[in-house]
Amino acid sequence: MDFKPSPERQILFDTLKKYFEKEYSLSDRNIAAHSDLGYSKKAWEAMRDLGILESLIDPELDGFGGTALDISTVFEALGRGLVVEPFLEVGILAAKVLSKGNDVQKSLVKKILKNECLPILAHSETDTEYSKSFVETKLSVEADGSYKISGAKRMIKHAAEATHFLVTCRNTGDASSEAGISIACIPTDREGIKIDSFATIDGGRVSDLTFSNVSISSEELVGELGMSYSIVSDAIDTGILAICSEALGIMERIKELTLEYLKTRKQFGVPIGKFQAIQHRMAQLLVEIEQARSSVINATIYFDDETEKEKTISAAKFSIGKIGTLVAEESIQLHGGMGMTWEYDLGHYAKRLVLIDHEFGDEDFHLQKYISL
Amino acid sequence: MDFKPSPERQILFDTLKKYFEKEYSLSDRNIAAHSDLGYSKKAWEAMRDLGILESLIDPELDGFGGTALDISTVFEALGRGLVVEPFLEVGILAAKVLSKGNDVQKSLVKKILKNECLPILAHSETDTEYSKSFVETKLSVEADGSYKISGAKRMIKHAAEATHFLVTCRNTGDASSEAGISIACIPTDREGIKIDSFATIDGGRVSDLTFSNVSISSEELVGELGMSYSIVSDAIDTGILAICSEALGIMERIKELTLEYLKTRKQFGVPIGKFQAIQHRMAQLLVEIEQARSSVINATIYFDDETEKEKTISAAKFSIGKIGTLVAEESIQLHGGMGMTWEYDLGHYAKRLVLIDHEFGDEDFHLQKYISL
Amino acid sequence: MDLNFTKEQENFQIEVRSFLSDNLEPQVVEKVKNGIPITKEDSERWHQKLNEKGWLAGTWPKQYGGQEWDVVEKFIFEEECGSAGAPRIVPFGVGMLAPVLMKFGSQEQRDYWLPRMLTGEDWWCQGYSEPGSGSDLASLKTSAVRDGDHYIVNGQKTWTTFAQHANMIFCLVRTSTEGKPQEGISFILIDMNSPGIEVRPIITLDGSHEVNEIFFSDVKVPAKNLVGEENKGWTYAKYLLTHERTGNANVAVSKRKIQKLKKLADDAKKNEQPLSNDPMFASRLAQIEIDLQNLEITNLRTLASVENGEAPGAESSIIKILGSEIEQDIDNLTRKSLGKRAFVNEPDALSSGYNGAEVVPKAAAYASGKYFNHRKKSIYAGSNEIQKNIISKLMLNL
Amino acid sequence: MDLNFTKEQENFQIEVRSFLSDNLEPQVVEKVKNGIPITKEDSERWHQKLNEKGWLAGTWPKQYGGQEWDVVEKFIFEEECGSAGAPRIVPFGVGMLAPVLMKFGSQEQRDYWLPRMLTGEDWWCQGYSEPGSGSDLASLKTSAVRDGDHYIVNGQKTWTTFAQHANMIFCLVRTSTEGKPQEGISFILIDMNSPGIEVRPIITLDGSHEVNEIFFSDVKVPAKNLVGEENKGWTYAKYLLTHERTGNANVAVSKRKIQKLKKLADDAKKNEQPLSNDPMFASRLAQIEIDLQNLEITNLRTLASVENGEAPGAESSIIKILGSEIEQDIDNLTRKSLGKRAFVNEPDALSSGYNGAEVVPKAAAYASGKYFNHRKKSIYAGSNEIQKNIISKLMLNL
């Protein structure tokens, strides 16, 4: 038994960690994260140069990683850095989908690595339906064998800057049926697409998309007509593993910040970390964070096991959601007013940590899913 | 606005409190509670002499109380004393049912006050069905207009010593239907009744009853054939108010015991109540106990309000169930090993407090009921 | 036990309700109901309307323009305001400084400052906390040294709510370093326009600007602005804190927010059913609702004891803990109920100048922001940890 | 990362499983699985069978009859025992005293006492806690005064598990009152049949007799029974406590209990459906199951670091807290799942002598009793509060 990452992965993690500490200042990050673009193009390019994207992608598509453990290791590091650039959306969600496509679509993955395109998965439709198979966007087959898409997608992160949308849609089946789902890969300047963007609480812009009779050629489908649920499902499962790992990195950083504060902040003549009520709450947080880490390790172990995968993924997302909110709320409380300020790092970590529960299904959704499996 | 009980009720409460402190020693109580009888006949008679039963019963049936506030006041006092004698079963459940009966049955209430009978409501059937209308025990109509009852009742407290059973049964309707429920009042020596008794964790014997073709005359029905749900329902609602109030008395006593322990028990040279982690947990318990009390006051206020009654009763039982278990577990933990011993009072209060959640529906049941109303 | 209002109290309730319905501005109510911060001007217009009615400072003595409301009338007024979505009365002048001046100030101070609170000539803020003195307030360092007819003030205050709007601040300052820290503190009134004062905004994690740092460099303050006696300020400060902590139950506001949350959950879909039908959501919501119902009674019990002449003790600490935590629970569940829409943070979406995409539902414009902003509720006005210390000491005698 | 057992470890696991299935007595397993206390004789028969196989003290060096199991082998053995419902090995001799004797005892002590632990000639109990010394163990007062070849022991021990079965006790006693309290403590072995020893049962709130008080009045103990040096006992005690706290995860036992609970919930009906379909019950159960799954990994991570040569630190405190709380959660939900049947307390219902009415389901005979009895799990072996102190000090450096 050995729970340590391989030496190569450890080196990657340490490199990223050091990079974020030195080069990715949180004050710059916050300006970019809440700008009209929602991230920093400069930082995005600098981090790509480190090979982060390659580490998320299979060797056959010009990457050098892509295993569950690679993804978990890298995203924990991204979490520590509170990176807002679109590694999840492009490096995981879009790349995973495109890797199942035809040669043109596969080549987009290679183009991602060269910074020649920025494809974004446009899947989720209502705010509170987290089911991976919920798709109402309509795909209609035209007389000439081409298709048209009509429908709406909601809360798509980093969509405004995308070069391509990977749009899920259905030509048959009920709204939540797994059968009947297709994916279309289209340029974002295709006629009939409307984009409404919003600022977010945790950084990065988010958009609602409307598709009105958008024309699609048959070569633009990723996978076969109506058979692409498993492609979306795999991409989202990988995304869940990624953001759960991101949450671990955030929690570790929050732990460090909070401990530092407890040791230096003095009231009544002693560091507040000397008060037993505070100590016990902090010890409880440590216990919870260790359990959160174990849940992610468990999901990583079973990520390629068809029978256990979904159950361990849901257990991890539930654990992260529940523990993440606790860690965010407790760490703010332990910081007092300091935790409430924009200027201090903690609040920004806490915001992202809480919002991770809103992506790909919250703690309640995944507990119910766990029960159903 | 005034939340204080009337002077008469305050005097009654204070009298009972003093009586229990002086005359009802917990070591004697424990011996009786875990004896083959399950309570002390001597204590039962002594406490009846104080007029406790009368305070629970309407003036028209020779009592001098019976309002929601009377019942709540008396049961809070009984809770402080950890009284195991059958005031709930006889003074509330049986008396409430009999008070809706014919003259013979009403006269049984008066006989209760003279200690000439001990009627017991035999209603609940399965361990985990808490619905007030769940009755499968069958009432069949014979050719001569008389009836026969067949079925089983479970976990009936103080049944072994009963003189009469008030047996719920149905001649029509589904297992949980409100329509079709009748109540038969029969002597316990009627042929066809089998009684299996068990020791309990919180004191008092509990019995499973089996009825095999037990003959009933039509005069033995309480209320009309198939129309008696509301009688049972009223009795149980009153029972809920009573045991919620009992729980308040128990929690107050637990609070006193725990505070006393925290102030006297020393470790590391100081009373353990000086440790801040302990102080904050105890402060939290106080806050919770105040909320529990408010939930019972709310149920008392609305007890005669047809539209709000069931909702506030369920809110109170939920609050008592949730907070009661917390108070029991935390107080044992704060006492350390001492809370684990038979010899010390705390554990006995804690046991009864937890088990109150198992009577008339637990916290989950009542939360669901609250949601459904 | 008698839980009903008297006839007079009922009539007063009707009068308040009717006043609110006649005088509240709909677009301000909409901001309040959606949790969007209101502007200084919104507050000032509302204060003026209340003052015309004589209700801006209802608990004040009649001689100073108040109504001498008792605790129940105050409660009725505040609950009706909460239900209706009225802006909160900015408390620093009428609610906090005024009781101190009435009890400890000179007649001259009362005569000068109290009327100006009602007319809105002064906007007060509170100079208590310092960077090194939060929970441990008595360790404050901002100094005031007597120099002829003036004090010279140097130091720094922080977490000062609405200092950006204020022209006056009441401050705790150190006038002596001898004896216990509590014994060298004075209570003084400072003009925010004095030379040497600098206000720097503190932006909170949701991007709001409510609180500030204030720097004092050789600020000259007339000696007549000292309240009461020199070095007795701690007594006045404690008196004020007791006043500050009452009325934190916020039951009516929380009830209104629960109604709003229920509406959101009816409209949202989960598993193609209304979210409100989801057993886990319904269970979370019902638990909060029951907690709030219990708090309503707990709060009334405290009020009733005060009404019956008992002094409010550490009970206000219980109310503070419960009131803040229940409101946070509602904010938390509101955020959850919005699902992915909770990412959005567009607090200006209800303002006239907003030209971004419409936020649907409107509540989403600031739901997460408010959730994070309201984490302050368990931190400010004596953190909930401090409240537990108080309960432990005063009610449990530990 | 490599989470698989080696081939050798897998083979060992198969061997343990097959030994257990061949040797466990069904009626003892039934008691264990229903949480009913087993008798001294049940334990002794099981110890003897394990000893015949050489597994009673698997972690011991081979020279003393052990197998030199490493942490993973120990883990495999204990988890398989837990799954199978084997009685726990009574730890006081082989698990607690033995490591101390091996590290700090004399060769003569080892040669005499260790073999007797294996044969069952001695049943040990542990004399640590005193009425005034629980968490603050170093304040213990039981005195041992040297008198020629003997020590004279006076004082009182408490919470002594199975003292009613024991013929020997290892005790911490005070041999000096100078310096820090820790510096005057010695570790000594006492014959329970010595004149002047009285054992009084402590009945726990569920009616069980597991723990005792022991009174020492001028008890003569041979000086050769002192372990190590006089006044160095605190070091030995801490060494023992570290050993005691490992292996508290109890994952296999908790998994077995969850399976049992699921079966109960499938059989019980709520709203005329299986209780296991009730959303609130299902949610409670799933949360415990996930916590336990997470604990399994947390525990394996700790084991892996030990296997890879890192010293186990305060991680064992994390395991102790989680292991105890999760088992308590299961006991709690088991009690809840029984509904009204949870009132029953008939722990003898599985014993041959029982002639009361049959308890259905069997688990109900002692479910509430066990729930209350297991509150001890967060109290004993260093209360969970003490574990948080340790975490705070050693892992958080607060």
Listed in sequence order, the residues at least 6 apart from D266 whose beta carbon sits closer than 8 Å to its beta carbon are: D274, D275, D276
* CATH code of residue B128: 2.40.110.10
Chains B & C: contacts with CB separation below 8 Å: 111
Smallest CA–CA distance from C318 into chain B, residue = B287
Architecture of domain D123-242: Beta Barrel (2.40)
Q: How far is CA B80 from CA B75, B255, B345, in A?
A: 9, 11, 11
Q: How far is CA D124 from CA C299, D98, D150, D224, in A?
A: 57, 11, 21, 18
* B99 touching chain D per CB within 8 A: no
The reported pLDDT for the residue numbered D2 is 73
List the CATH number of the domain containing B315: 1.20.140.10
List the structure tokens of C263: 């509406």
Query: C291 at the B interface (CB within 8 A)?
Result: yes
pLDDT score recorded for residue B2 = 77
Which residues in chain B have their CB less than 8 angstroms from residue D383's CB?
333, 336
Q: What is the mean pLDDT of residues C10-21?
A: 97
**Do D72 and A1 lie within an 8 Å CB cutoff?**
yes
CATH (domain of B13): 1.10.540.10
pLDDT of residue D311: 65
Neighbours of C, requiring at least 3 CB pairs below 8 Å, are: A, B, D
Residue range C56-105, pLDDT digits in tens? 999 999 999 999 999 889 999 999 999 999 999 999 999 999 999 999 99
* DSSP code string of D208-220: -EEEEEEEEEEEE
Contact B61, B109 (CB under 8 A): yes
For residues A79 and A184, state if they share a domain. Answer: no
Nearest chain C residue to A336 by CA distance is C379
Which segments within chain A are labelled E, that is strand? 119-122, 138-141, 147-157, 164-170, 181-187, 193-198, 206-216, 221-222, 266-267, 270-271
Q: Which residues of B touch C305 (CB under 8 A)?
A: 3
| CB contact (8 A) between residue A294 and residue D295 | yes
From A282, which residue of chain B is nearest by alpha-carbon distance?
Answer: B277
C-beta atoms of A286 and D396 within 8 A: yes
Q: Is B367 found in the same domain as B234?
A: yes
DSSP state of D374: G
Tell which of A181, A207, A228 closes a domain. Answer: A228
Q: Which of B48, B46, B66 lies closest to B56, judged by CA?
A: B66
* C202, containing H or E segment: strand C197-203
CATH class of the C246-395 domain in this structure: mainly alpha
* Mutate: best of A244, A257, A278, A290, partner D, most D CBs <10 A: A290
Gap between the Cα atoms of D395 and D318, Å rounded = 10
What are A's interface residues with B at a Cβ cutoff of 8 A? Answer: 275-277, 279-280
C37 in A contact zone (CB under 8 Å) = no
Q: Quick check: D231 and D151 in contact, CB under 8 A?
A: no
Residue A16 in contact with residue A8, Cβ under 8 Å?
Answer: no
Contacts of B283 in chain A (CB under 8 A): none
- Kindly give the pairing relationship between strand C168-174 and strand C185-191: antiparallel
Does any domain span residue A2?
no
Q: Which residues of C266-295 are buried (b: 16+ CB within 10 A; e: fewer)?
A: eebbbbeeebbebbbbbbbbbbbbbbbbbb
Residue B36 lies in domain: 7-113
A297–chain D Cβ distance below 8 A for any pair: yes
Q: Average pLDDT by consecutive 10-residue portion of chain B (373 residues)?
A: 81 92 96 97 93 94 93 97 98 98 97 96 96 97 93 97 97 95 98 97 98 96 97 98 98 98 94 96 98 97 95 98 98 96 97 98 98 96
A371 touches chain C (CB under 8 A): no
Residue B4 contacts C where some CB pair is shorter than 8 Å: yes
Q: 3-state secondary structure string, B22-40?
A: HHCCHHHHHHHHCCCCCCC
How many CB atoms lie under 10 A from the CB of residue B115?
13
Residue burial C26-45, b: 16+ Cβ < 10 Å; e: rest? eebbebbbbbbbbeeebbeb
Q: Do A259 and D397 touch (CB under 8 A)?
A: yes
Is the domain of B265 the same as that of B354? yes
Find, among B314, B312, B320, the residue nearest to B352 by Cα. Answer: B320
Flag if B127 and D203 touch (Cβ within 8 Å): no
Answer for the pair A257, A331: CB distance below 8 angstroms, yes or no. yes
Q: Is residue B290 part of a domain?
A: yes
Is the C-alpha dihedral spanning C147, C150, C151, C157 positive or negative?
negative
* Domain extent listing, chain C: 7-89, 123-242, 246-395
Residue A67 burial (CB count, 10 A): 15
In chain C, which residues have their Cβ closer than 8 Å to the Cβ of A365? 270
Tell me which amino acid residue B246 is.
E
Structure tokens at D78: 């204990």
Residue pair D171/D190 in contact (Cβ under 8 Å)? The answer is: yes
Closest residue in chain B to residue D211, using alpha carbons only: B341
Q: What CATH superfamily is the domain C7-89?
A: Acyl-CoA dehydrogenase/oxidase, N-terminal domain (1.10.540.10)
Ranking A147-151, B108-112, B272-276, C132-136 by mean pLDDT, the lowest is: C132-136
8 Å CB contact between B98 and B222: yes
B242 shares a domain with B336: yes
Closest CA relative to residue A235, chosen from A113, A353, A91, A29: A91
Q: Between A259, A283, A319, which is nearest D290 by CB?
A: A319
Q: Where are the beta strands (DSSP E) in C119-179?
A: 124-127, 143-147, 150-157, 168-174
Distance CA A372, CA A214 (A): 37
Task: List CB contacts of C298: < 8 A, sequence separation 6 or more.
Answer: B290, B291, B293, B294, C249, C318, C319, C322
Clarify whether residues A39 and A108 are in a common domain.
Answer: yes
Confirm or reject contact between A280 and chain C (CB < 8 A).
no
| Of the candidates A106, A101, A107, A98, the residue with the CA atom closest to the CA atom of residue A218 | A101
Q: Which of residues 145-174 of B touch D (CB under 8 A)?
A: 154-155, 157
| B359–D339 C-beta distance less than 8 A | no
**To the nearest whole angstrom, how far is the Cα of D259 from the nearest Cα of chain C?**
24
Q: How far is B330 from chain D (nearest CA, A)?
A: 10
Whole-number Cα distances in Å, C207 to A200, A202, C21, C204, C368: 11, 11, 32, 5, 11
Which pLDDT belongs to residue D173?
98
Angular region, C397: left φ>0, alpha ψ -120 to 50, beta rest: left
Q: Does residue A142 sit in the same domain as residue A219?
A: yes
- B367 and chain C: CB distance < 8 Å anywhere? yes
Name the closest residue on chain C to residue D279, using Cα atoms.
C279
Question: Residue C246: its pLDDT value, please?
Answer: 59
Q: What is the DSSP string of C18-35?
A: HHHHHH--HHHHHHHHTT
How does DSSP assign A248-288, residue by residue? HHHHHHHHHHHHHHHHH-EETTEEGGGSHHHHHHHHHHHHH
Whole-number pLDDT of residue C244? 60
Instruction: Count the domains in chain A.
Output: 3
The 10 Å CB-count burial string (b at 16+, else e) for B34-63 is: beeebbbeebbeebbeebbbbbbbbeebbb
Total residue count of chain C as it appears in this document: 398
Asked if the Cβ–Cβ distance from A263 to D72 is below 8 Å, we say no
Q: Extract the tokens encoding A271.
A: 């560091």
Residue B154 token pair: 């479970």
Asked whether residue B69 is assigned to any structural domain, the reply reads yes
Would A1 be classed as within a structural domain? Answer: no
CB contact under 8 A, A279 and B277: yes
Q: Are A262 and A271 in contact (CB under 8 A)?
A: yes
For A311, which residue in chain D has the nearest alpha carbon?
Answer: D290
Mean pLDDT in order along chain D per 10 residues (398 residues): 85 97 95 89 96 96 94 92 95 94 97 97 96 91 97 97 97 96 96 98 96 98 98 93 70 95 96 95 98 96 82 82 97 97 94 89 95 96 93 94
Same domain, A242 and A357: yes
What does the mean pLDDT of chain A come to?
96
Establish if D48 touches chain A: CB-CB under 8 angstroms: no
Choose one of B171, B200, B228: the last residue of a domain. B228
Segment A348-365, tens digit of pLDDT: 999 999 999 999 999 999
| Model confidence at C243: pLDDT above 80 | no
Chains that touch B (3 or more CB pairs under 8 A): A, C, D
Residues B274 and B332 in one domain: yes
Q: Could you tell me the two tokens for A151? A: 């429908």
Q: Is the pLDDT of residue C245 over 60?
A: no
Check whether residue B48 and residue B87 sit in a common domain: yes
Whether residue A349 sits in one domain with residue A256 = yes
- Subunit partners of chain A (3 or more CB pairs within 8 A): B, C, D
Report ipTM (2 d.p.): 0.96
Peptide bond into C201 cis (omega under 30): no
Of A104, A69, A86, A73, nearest to A33 (Cα)? Answer: A86
Q: Is A34 on the interface with C (CB under 8 A)?
A: yes
Q: What letter does residue D177 receive in the DSSP assignment?
A: -
* pLDDT computed for residue D248 by the predictor: 73
List phi, psi (to 5°) of C189: -105, 130
Selected residues 243-272 of chain A with any CB under 8 Å from a CB in chain D: 259, 262-263, 271
Domains C7-89 and C123-242 share a fold: no
User: In chain D, which residues have their Cβ closer than 8 Å to the Cβ of B341?
Assistant: 202-205
Cα(A222)–Cα(A218) distance, integer angstroms? 9
Tell me if D53 sits within 8 A of D19, measured CB to CB.
Answer: yes
CB atoms within 10 A of CB D234: 20
B1 lies in a domain?
no
B181 sits in which H/E element: strand B181-187
Per-residue pLDDT reduced to its tens digit, C334-386: 999 999 999 999 999 988 889 999 999 999 999 999 999 999 999 998 899 99
| Residue A45 is assigned to a structural domain of this protein | yes
Q: Chain A contacts of C359, Cβ < 8 Å?
A: 198
Nearest CA in chain B to A278: B277
Instruction: Return d(Cα B332, Cα B254) in angstroms, integer.
Output: 10
Half-sphere exposure of D270 (CA within 13 A, CB side): 25
pTM for the model stands at: 0.96
> Which comes out higher in pLDDT, residue C4 or C179?
C179
Q: What is the Cα–Cα distance from B175 to D337, expressed in whole angstroms?
A: 21
Identify whether residues B208 and B309 lie together within a single domain. Answer: no
Q: Which of C210, C175, C198 is nearest to C347 (CA)?
A: C210
Q: Hey, is the C-beta of D7 within 8 angstroms of any chain B C-beta? A: no
Residue B29 lies in a domain: yes
Encode B311-339: b = buried (16+ Cβ within 10 Å), e = exposed.
Answer: bbbbbbbbbbbbbbbbbbbbbbbbbbbbb
Q: Of A113, A143, A174, which marks where a domain is finished?
A: A113
Q: How far, in Å, CA of C70 to CA of C60, rounded?
A: 10
Neighbour tally for B363: CB within 10 Å: 21
B2 in a structural domain: no
Q: Are residues B360 and B264 in the same domain?
A: yes
Q: Burial level of A49, CB count in 10 A (0-12/13-18/19+)?
A: exposed
